[in-house]
A and B are shown apart, each in its own frame.
Chain A
Amino acid sequence: MVGGRRKKQHFSRIHAFTCGKAYFRGDHSLIGGPGFSRVVYCNDPECFEASLLNYGGNYVRSTKYTLATFFPKSLFEQFRRVANFYFLICAILSFTPLSPYSSISNVLPLVVVIGATMGKEAVEDWKRKKQDIEMNNRKVKVHQGDGRFEHTKWMDLKVGDIVKVEKDEFFPADLILLSSSYEEAICYVETMNLDGETNLKLKQALEATSSLHEDSSFQNFKAVIRCEDPNANLYSFVGSLEFRKEQYPLSPQQLLLRDSKLRNTDYIFGAVIFTGHDTKVIQNSTEPPSKRSKIERRMDKIVYVLFALLVLLSVIGSIFFGIATREDLENGKMTRWYLRPDETTIYYDPERATVAAILQFLTALMLYSYLIPISLYVSIEVVKVLQSIFINQDLHMYYEEADKPARARTSNLNEELGQVDTILSDKTGTLTCNSMEFIKCSVAGTSYGRGITEVEKALAWRKVSPLAQDVTEEEGQVEEFKKEKPSVKGFNFLDERIMNGNWIKEPRADVIQKFLLLLAVCHTAIPEVDEEAGRTSYEAESPDEAAFVVAARELGFEFYERTQTRISFYEFDPLSGKKVERSYNLLNILEFSSSRKRMSVIVRNEEGKLLLLCKGADSVMFERLAKSGQEFAELTKEHIAEYADAGLRTLVIAYREIDEQEYVEFNEQFTEAKNLVSADREEMIEEAAGKIERDLILLGATAVEDKLQNGVPDCIDKLAQAGIKIWVLTGDKMETAINIGFACSLLRQGMKQIVINPETPEIKALEKSDDKSAAAAAFKASVLQQIAEGKRLLSSSNKDSEAVALIVDGKSLTYALEDDVKDNFLELAIGCASVICCRSSPKQKALVTRLVKSKTGSTTLAIGDGANDVGMLQEADIGVGISGVEGMQAVMSSDIAIAQFRFLERLLLVHGHWCYRRISSMICYFFYKNIAFGFTIFFYEIYASFSGQAVYNDWFLSLYNVFFTSLPVIALGVFDQDVSSRLCLKFPPLYQEGIQNVLFSWLRILAWLFNGVLSATIIFFFCIRAMQHQAFRKGGEVVGLEILGATMYTCVVWVVNCQMALSISYFTYIQHLFIWGGIVFWYIFLIAYGAIDPDISTSAYQVFIEACAPSGLYWLLTLLVLIASLLPYFAYSAIQMRFFPLYHQMIQWIRSDGQTDDPEYCHIVRQRSLSHTTVGYTARFEAKSKSSKERARDH
């Protein structure tokens, strides 16, 4: 309590909150009218009036289905798929005499397929249900009358209940804050789950209710709240509270939203106003968009092509059938009398041959349905689920520290991971850890700090061995790095020269002392002393400020107390070698603002001297230095440039002594400006501050690392080598964004930068004036002009194959995204090697994503960690959430969640590539095997007068996709690897296969379809030519329909399975088991089925044991057909593999030649396929060596 109260004072002291004072504004007159009709009887939810209102409970349901709606709804979903609907029609028709085969064999596969998909839906929904149950059964303390508060389940909350929420608990519903543990009824709220912002927000209750501090005070509490109806607007709220016959206005300041968290406050009391689905957060939640991968969309097109083929074949068949049927009666005489055309049914009636032909068309649709693989969808589902299990199980993507494995939340985008063209990345929390570390400083012209940044590390690594670059070693390095990670958060400074008090031995100890003193004093942080551990921790507005205070503490200047007027700290006294307590009087704080780019404090030290301590960006600080204070200016500037290149954030540190007279003058002006209530208050303050912040004496500079996550530069480098474009969309300011751009090698020295930021004085002046539209027009014109300029620059640098970077700020982005500009903008952006958008709002992030996705048609991946990235994640083709420290919102709306940015490398280059390859080969193969099968049926029809008689037994037909050929395909889809994960990472350009869609191009698909037709032709015609009318074995028996069917089927099973064996390049025991097992299983099935009573087995009865097996012809024919069918493909792939290998085949060659360990060779292979305009440190290194070579040549 004590600490809490102290802190409260500080915050209000520093920030001068103006909270809790809402007046009845215009909006409040609406209360009671339409849209503002809600009436809440606080603390009396059971009363008569309240029961009339009948507001919903607090039960929240996020499931798609309920028990009752599951069947109709999910069935409807299923049959919305064209293929499934077609199979449903087939199944229904199969009960009519139209069916070419028995209905059961037609319906069963459909039931299995639909059942499996519905089962998956049910399981997924059940998971959501369990989440709901957990959520709804959380407990919160609710007033039960008589001042008693008891734990109640969230779902039992009612509108009007009084709840007591304790520290670090979530609010169970939307509440009106009545009072808190603080005297002034304020509380701190973390709204990370709503908007991704990590800073705490302050809420304050009405004064009228703020005195209700105890449980018992609610015994007789009665109030009525009238407010707006449930809506989705998070930032507005209009209502009034009637308490003790008085009306008080309510504003968003009193509203506590569900899913936000109570922080730094022991407890609060609140009245429930919106429950369950009425709460703002749930009103806000949009149905997550259902995403489908490109491959699947193309697959649908293939299905349509096959439909067309199916219809074509059926039409051809039915025309021939119609002609043959009409000729059955010639002038009243029967030709094919054995069919009894004189006494026939509608299906074969020669007199109504047209009708018969149309009906035959339906039969044919069913008969050739094997062209469209019914099990394709379900097999793909199965494969994708298994693939995502592999992603989830990957140890290389498990983050030990947070105990978080990767999680594929939706499985239907796996293969899309292999085709990503553009990555749109958030910065804070995604590229960086969102923690600042004090890493270097330059004091008195000497650079201190031996810590190395990620960027330096990466660069150094490249310099040492530019060619050898082994994954394992790199990972080892990361491991090593982890061990030496600093134990102090925000401090990664290593330099024995100034640590442990050694600084006093340095030549300019006096400057160092002032420097450290400034770090300890010039800030707005608040200390929190942990008495037990004797440690002080700090709460600061921004993490870099915290890093300064921590650094000062670690170096001997421990700031421990702040009051309204005093700052106290321990100082390491160089003379006595002991800690000495100091306290300075704090006179003014000149706050940081984006235009000032600096902050200062004015203090009076213990000797009574007045000091102005100032820190700020180099761009504004150097011009404010006194002539005498520039002693170290040159060296410091050099250091700053060095730090910036290493991706560090730098601040210049300076001070000055003020005489009393000057201070008095300043203080007058400053106070006057502060008390001013007019539009130019800010300017006046700035002016006053600017006057005193001059003639500074330079002390040095600090360098803070906005710490990149482990391995980010390396990962970006790999992704860039793979040809993936990386855009950074951040809410940060431009400088920070550019810093990070350098830090992760998205930008490099010598790269041309196109900056679109038309903040010219004229436009600013226009904005100040009332003519907003003129300002907007001028702004837009300026943006347009800059885009045009950028394009010119781009085209000129394209000739020199130089990389160009584009940096846009949020405001310009608003105009750049307008309909008439965006195409221009996109053209420019696509041409650039890296794109950085700063100050962009969540909406803009989503818009940029949509722009890239829709205009270029390429696959986009968005990665982010905060709720402000949700829009982007949902808009992109794939949304990847970082399950880091910031809330779960991003993860919940992502498709795949990983713990660290660097895992993206493995996710895309390994899993993405594999999944893409697997799914695309699997689909091609699926169509192949079904075409091969379907065409044998069609060919047979030519010899059966197109009557619709199937050549195969009913059960052979229906089990084809289920048993004999499906498992190898699934094994292909789950396990196949063209190259191992190690090589995938070693040769990132391999990823281009996915981006260029080489493995699923129309040419390749059509080639497979053609191969299917070819196989079918060989199988069918070889079979019927070999098994003509002659005796089929020594016993003189001839071939009947059932023997031909069984033989052809055997050939098909052999051919498609061996084709699979030929086309995969990765045989584990699983592949062996499934492929050869499929063939063996066919024989087992044939024997078992043939042994069953002929009532069931019909034409398959004893066909193998009695007829086929003892016949030499059967076996010889199988061998012949097998080899002959595979020969074309084998010859083709032998030529292609050797003389026109794809990239993965090239790597296979390298592997089989044993050259993967020859670094030089691998480097050559990698390098040749790299583009010059790429980013990453490899490119940076190349550019550097290129320019140095050029320089050498010039000399």
Chain B
Amino acid sequence: MSSSTPSSSAGGVGSADSAAPRRNSKRPKYSKFTQQELPACKPILTPRWVISAFMLVSIVFIPIGVVSLFASRDVVEIIDRYETACVPDGYKNDKVTFIQSNLTKQCNRTLTVKKRMKKPIYVYYQLDNFYQNHRRYVKSRSDSQLKENSSWDDVSSCKPEDMSKDQPIVPCGLIAWSLFNDTYSFSLNDQQLAVNKKGISWKSDRDSKFGKDVFPQNFQNGSLKGGATLNLSIPLSEQEDLIVWMRTAALPTFRKLYGKIEQDLQPNDQIHVTLDNNYNTYSFNGKKKLVLSTTSWLGGKNDFLGIAYLTVGGLCFFLALSFTVVYLVKPRRLGDPSYLSWNRNPGGH
């Protein structure tokens, strides 16, 4: 790679003092810029550069891949799919009727800890085939209403969940209306495991998007009840389940933070979960999962990043080797233009 300064050719032209400037002369002013002679780096892909670049990538990528993979493998995750198991046998073929009935929805599950889980342990619920990113759904909220008490009647974007009994709904819109309402309680060895539901939402949401003086009002009062109800005496900024829910997920399979267990769990611990299976995912064949997971510096369990890094790094290493071989075995024919397109077909001339 060479960095060269193009010499200003044709001496006389370059220097400004070659001709005494005439009055009103139209002679263009000389500058490296206007003459397109700016000093420039003109890299070309020489064998050395190509091989070095590939080697550099593989040297950087393979360690990163290893570290990422280790980080992902360190994470302990317990996943329990319960949406089918928590339907009584008689309703297995008609789950929708069950979920819409008034039958008791309580359900007990047992989770076994396989590896030691260090606190904090995050509790997620995972929904599947739920299009929180559907345009109708995403748009169906009123940010100003959530934020300020004074715009409580700003519900224009919330149809059809905007008004109920001629009163604006706070919080309005489909997102709030369909708030997830399964609940979980955990016990370990008959001891209640405390689930901390504070601080599970983004701080900026609590501080800036959900008002401290905005209280739920007229919520879930309509003819069709969606999801959870809200405590009318708690301001929205403290309704963290709502705040988490209202940050719409990017993909149809998503997890949302339910709470944190601030206690280490040991291998072979049996955790009893008592859950209220209220939320209707049966209409659209969605799965429901309960997830307990620790985190690493890289977040949750996902091997993809590590594997991808290793693959790309390995590929680059392979390419570096094969380029070396090719360059050695088959040196370039210098300045041979015979394979230029216009020499290949003489008819083109």
Contacts and interface: CB of A to CB of B under 8 A. Distances in A.
B10 A1040 contact: no
B247 A1040 contact: yes
A1112 B280 CA distance: 36
Contacts of A1093: 208
B90 interface: no
Contacts of A335: 283-285
A784 B126 CA distance: 86
B135 interface: yes
B120 interface: yes
Contacts of A1189: none
A1171 B339 CA distance: 15
Given A945-B252, A1029-B251, A1148-B44, A1068 B6 contact: no
Given A949-B135, A1068-B38, A344 B160 contact: yes
B343 A1169 contact: yes
A834 B326 CA distance: 46
A791 to B, nearest CB: 17
Interface string B142-154: 0110010000000
A1127 B315 contact: yes
B181 interface: no
B10 A1131 contact: no
Contacts of A982: 6, 9
Nearest to A1023: B250
A348 B135 CA distance: 10
A1038 interface: yes
B198 interface: no
Given A396-B13, A975-B36, A1165-B335, A1040 B250 contact: yes
Contacts of B28: 392-395, 398, 405
Interface string B257-285: 10010000000000000000000100111
A229 to B, nearest CB: 42
Contact of A943 (B34, B147, B252): B252
Given A1025-B304, A1139-B332, A947 B136 contact: yes
B8 to A, nearest CB: 9
A1025 B9 CA distance: 55
B338 to A, nearest CB: 7
A1028 B252 CA distance: 10
Contacts of B280: 337
Interface string B92-131: 0000100000000000000000000000101010100011
Contact of B253 (A949, A992, A1029, A1148): A1029
A1185 B260 CA distance: 92
Contact of B257 (A1038, A1119, A1124, A1133): A1038
B348 A1038 contact: no
A112 interface: no
B174 A340 contact: yes
Given A395-B35, A405-B26, A1041-B138, A1169 B254 contact: no
A366 to B, nearest CB: 12
Interface string A1139-1164: 11011011011111100000001001
Contacts of A1026: 302, 304-305, 308
Interface residues of B, number: 116
Interface string B139-182: 00001100100000000000111000000000000100110000
Nearest to A347: B136
A334 B295 contact: no
B6 A1102 contact: no
B61 A1111 contact: no
Given A1030-B299, A1094-B147, A1113-B299, A1068 B40 contact: yes
Contacts of B253: 1028-1029
A568 to B, nearest CB: 42
Given A337-B284, A1038-B255, 15 more contacts: A337-B226, A340-B174, A403-B22, A944-B131, A992-B342, A1026-B302, A1029-B254, A1030-B299, A1031-B122, A1036-B260, A1038-B300, A1065-B42, A1065-B44, A1112-B299, A1116-B298
Interface of B: 2, 6, 9-14, 19, 22, 25-30, 34-36, 38-47, 50, 53, 57, 61, 64, 68, 75, 96, 120, 122, 124, 126, 130-138, 143-144, 147, 159-161, 174, 177-178, 200, 202-204, 208-209, 224, 226, 247-257, 260, 280, 283-285, 293, 295-302, 304-305, 308-309, 312, 315-316, 319, 323, 327, 330, 332, 334-343, 348-349
13 contacts: A340-B224, A395-B30, A471-B9, A475-B9, A723-B342, A914-B36, A947-B133, A1029-B251, A1030-B293, A1034-B297, A1041-B250, A1065-B42, A1127-B312
Interface of A: 100, 333-340, 343-345, 347-348, 389-390, 392-396, 398, 400, 403-405, 471-472, 475-476, 479, 723, 914, 943-945, 947-949, 951, 975, 977, 980-982, 989, 992, 995-996, 998, 1022, 1024-1045, 1065-1071, 1093-1095, 1098, 1101-1102, 1106-1107, 1111-1113, 1116-1117, 1119-1120, 1123-1124, 1127, 1130-1131, 1133-1134, 1137-1140, 1142-1143, 1145-1146, 1148-1153, 1161, 1164-1165, 1168-1169, 1171, 1173
